[in-house]
Structure 1
Amino acid sequence: MRDHGYKSEGGFGKSVAAMSCPFVREQPIVEGARLIMRVFRIQRILRDRQDPLAQRDSVLIERYRFSREGIIYLTNLLDPYVKSSTHRSRALTTAQTVCIALLFFASGTFLYTVGDAENIRKSAVCHSIRKVYLALKHFLARLSPGFSNVIGTIDCTHIAIKAPPGPNEGDFVNRKGVHRAYDGILLGDRGYACRQYFMTPFPDPNPGPQTRYNAALARTRARIEMTFGQLKGRFQCLKSLRVAPDRACDIIVACAVLHNIATIRKERSPVVEVQPDDDLQPVHLDQPSGRAARDRIVQQNSEY
C-alpha cells in the first residue's frame, strides 16, 4: 500500500482518519442522528402549531363545513368549555380542538385518519371530540326553536351505530314509534299508524280528493325530509357512528346544535335531493278514529 505519510500515533493523522471515515468512530453517527431528530422535532411542532384557519374559505367549508367566521364564532362560543387547562407549549388551542371535532363530524372517518390529517395522536383526537360534543349539549335548548301551541311534522331517520356487547343488544335496534301531541295534528309517512291526532297518507288513494290529500301531505312533510338530508349531508358521521350508544346520542345532539348554528348564521348548506317516500308499512294498524279523522279532512277540503 502507498504510504501517505500519516502516522497513527500522530494527532493530526488520527483527526484526518476520523473525518475521512466517519463510521470508524461512534460519535459522528450519534451527533448526526441528533441533528436529524432535532429537525424532525421542529417540523412536527411547527405542523402541530399551524393555524387551522390559515386556509381559503372554500377549503375550510369543504373540510369543516363552516366558514372562517363560523369557526371563529364556534371557537368563542365553546372556549369556556373546551380550552386547555394546561399551559404546556404543545397544548391544543381552542380553535384546533374545535376544528378536530368538526373534521370528524363532517367526514365520519376513523379517529386515526383525523389524527393523521391534523398531525396529532388518536387519543388527543378522541379527547377533543368528546370535549366539543359535551360542550355543545349546553346549547341544545338555547339553539333549538320552540314555539308554544304549534304542531309540526314528524319523521324518522335511522343512524347506524355500533352494536353494544352483551345480552341487551336488541334494545338498541331502531324502531319507529309514535309521540303523542295535543291540540293539533302531526303529519307522518306510512311508517306510522294513522291516529286521530296523527295523519298519514292513504295507502291506495282514489283519484281526486284522496290523491290531492296525499300530495298536500307530501309537500308539507318535504321540509323535515330536507332537514334530515341537510343534516346528514353536512355531517357525514351521522351515516354510520362507530361509537358506543351513549356517545352516539351525544354526537347526534352535537350535530343537531351545529346544524342550527349553521342555519342561523346562513352557512353554506349541502345540496340535497328529496328522496321519494319508501313503501313503508306502519308498525301498528291504522286506528278507526284516525281513519275517520283523515276522511273528515278530505271531505272538508273537497268542499272548497
Structure 2
Amino acid sequence: MDLMLLSSDSDSDLEMLAQLSDCSDEDETQRRSPKRIRRVNYTQSLDDGDFTFRFRLNKHAFNSLLLEITPLLRVTSTRNYGVSPLHQLLLTLRFYALGTMLISVADFVGVSKSTAGRIVRDTSLAIAQLYDKYIYVHQRSADKFYRIAGFPRVLGAIDGTHIRIQSPCHLTGEEYRNRKGYFSINVQGVCDADLKFINVVARWPGSTHDATIFNNSVLRAECDAGQFGNRWLLGDSAYPNRPYLLTPILNPVSEAEHRYNEAHIKTRNTIERAFGVWKRRFPVVALTLRLSIPNMQAVIIATTVLHNICRNHNLTEIPSEVELPSIDNSTMPHNVIDDIPTMHRTDIINNYFRTL
C-alpha cells in the first residue's frame, strides 16, 4: 500500500461533536469530573439522508465498515466505558467531513489533542488496512473506457494530485514544497472507468516528480512483468512513454495523431474526475492536513478506501458542509520525461486511429 471552516449550522455541528467526546486519561478536566458523557448512536437518531450528509457514508455502508474495523480498534479507557468503535468511527468521519484542525476538534469535543489524534490515527489506520480489499488493479473496465472516446484496451488512467499539508519540520520541510510553492504530499492515483481507484501511492513529498513515483512503485514492476497483458495505462506528458503506459503526442501532425490525442485526453480525464469526487466527499484532503506525516498518509489512504466503498454502494455526490477552495486537478508544469514514440503507440495510431 504503496481541516477549517464550519458551516452556517456550526452550532448543531458542535453539539453533535460534543456528544461524540472521549473521556481522556490525559484530560485534567475529565479527571476532576466523574460525570458520564452521553453518547448518541446516530445510526438510530438520524434518518439516512441526514446521516449520509454528516458522515459521508449511508447507514448501510457505515454499518458494514464498522463490522470490518471493529476488531482493529481498541477502547483504551475504562472510565466512561471508553470510546466505542462506533463512536470512534463517527468522530473520524466527522473529522474527514469537516476538515477541521485536530486541535479545534479536540476543543469542540472537550478532549485533549492527543486523545483526538489517537482516535483519528487508530481509525484511519484500521480503514487503511482494507486497502487490498477495496483498491486493486483489475481488467474489467476496458469496455467502459472504450465507450468514453473509443480508446481500446485501457487498463486505467494515471496522474498525481497534491494534498496540502502544514509545513513539516525544518529538516525535511523543503522536500514537501511543490512547484506551486506550497507544502504537499504528491499522491499517485490510478482509476478505472467507474472512477474507482485501482492503485494509490501516498508516501512521496510534494517536490517529487510524478514519473519518479511511478518508476519506484509496485505498479510499475507489475507492468514490467507483463502482469496486465496487453492493457495500457494512460498518463500525461509527465510520464515516460512505455509499452504499457501511453502518453499524448506533444506535436501531433497527422489526422490520426490528432484523433489519438483527443481520445487519449477524454479517456484520461477520468482520473481528474475521480480526484474531484474524492476531495469533495472528504474535504479533509481538499483543505490542509495538520497531522504528522505518517498520520496524514493514513488519512489519505483511508479516504481513498472510503471513496471506493461509496462508489461500490452507488452513493451519489453530496455537497460539502464546509467551504472548499476551487478543486483544481490540472497538472502542474512538468519537465517532459521523453516523447520517444514506442512501437505500441505508433501501432495504435497507424492501425487504429488512422482508420477511424
**Normalising to structure 1: TM-score of the pair?**
0.73
Question: Does the 8 Å CA contact 2:281/2:319 hold for their aligned counterparts?
Answer: no
Deviation at 1:116, TM superposition (A): 4.8
Q: Deviations over 1:195-232 (max 9, x none)?
A: 44321112343462222111211222122222211111
Which residue number in structure 1 is paired with residue 273 of structure 2?
226
Which residue number in structure 2 is paired with residue 259 of structure 1?
307
2:79 and 2:131 map into 1 onto residues whose CA distance is 32
Question: Does the 8 Å CA contact 1:64/1:99 hold for their aligned counterparts?
Answer: yes
1:198 aligns with 2:245: yes
For the residue of structure 1 that corresponds to 2:79, the secondary structure is coil
Partner AA of 1:88 in structure 2: R
1:247 and 1:147 map into 2 onto residues whose CA distance is 28
Question: Does the 8 Å CA contact 1:192/1:282 hold for their aligned counterparts?
Answer: no
Deviation at 1:143, TM superposition (A): 1.9
Partner AA of 2:157 in structure 1: T
2:115 and 2:39 map into 1 onto residues whose CA distance is 14
Q: Deviations over 1:240-278 (max 9, x none)?
A: 222222222111111122122222223333489997855
Deviation at 1:66, TM superposition (A): 1.1
Which residue number in structure 2 is paired with residue 296 of structure 1?
347
Q: Deviations over 1:112-149 (max 9, x none)?
A: 33235545443322111011012123211122234379
Q: Which runs of 5 or more structure 2 residues have no equivalent in the other structure?
A: 1-32, 141-153, 176-204, 321-325
Which residue number in structure 1 is paired with residue 42 of structure 2?
52
1:121 and 1:299 map into 2 onto residues whose CA distance is 64
Deviation at 1:289, TM superposition (A): 4.2
Q: Which runs of 5 or more structure 1 residues have no equivalent in the other structure?
A: 1-40
Which residue number in structure 2 is paired with residue 176 of structure 1?
210
Which aligned pairs between 1:1-304 and structure 2 lie closer than 5 A?
45-46=36-37, 48-53=38-43, 54-118=45-109, 120-147=111-138, 151-171=155-175, 172=205, 173-177=207-211, 178-179=214-215, 180=220, 181-182=223-224, 183=226, 184=230, 185-206=232-253, 208-239=255-286, 240-270=288-318, 278=331, 280-286=333-339, 288-290=340-342, 293-301=344-352, 302-304=354-356
Partner AA of 1:52 in structure 2: Y
Richer in helix (by share): 1
Partner AA of 2:162 in structure 1: H
Question: Does the 8 Å CA contact 1:162/1:244 hold for their aligned counterparts?
Answer: no
What number of residue pairs does the alignment pair up? 260
CA distance change for structure 1 residues 218 and 144 in 2, over 3 Å: closer, same or farther? Answer: same
Question: Does the 8 Å CA contact 2:158/2:234 hold for their aligned counterparts?
Answer: yes
Which residue number in structure 2 is paired with residue 20 of structure 1?
none
2:157 and 2:59 map into 1 onto residues whose CA distance is 34
2:58 and 2:64 map into 1 onto residues whose CA distance is 10
Question: Does the 8 Å CA contact 1:75/1:95 hold for their aligned counterparts?
Answer: yes
2:119 and 2:329 map into 1 onto residues whose CA distance is 38
Partner AA of 1:168 in structure 2: T
1:162 and 1:116 map into 2 onto residues whose CA distance is 20
CA distance change for structure 1 residues 197 and 143 in 2, over 3 Å: closer, same or farther? Answer: closer
Larger deviation: 235-244 or 271-280? Answer: 271-280
2:319 and 2:257 map into 1 onto residues whose CA distance is 32
1:163 and 1:51 map into 2 onto residues whose CA distance is 37
Question: Does the 8 Å CA contact 1:176/1:283 hold for their aligned counterparts?
Answer: no
What's the Cα RMSD here? Answer: 3.1
2:128 and 2:327 map into 1 onto residues whose CA distance is 29
Q: Deviations over 1:66-118 (max 9, x none)?
A: 12232222222221121414442252122111011111122221123323554
Partner AA of 1:264 in structure 2: N
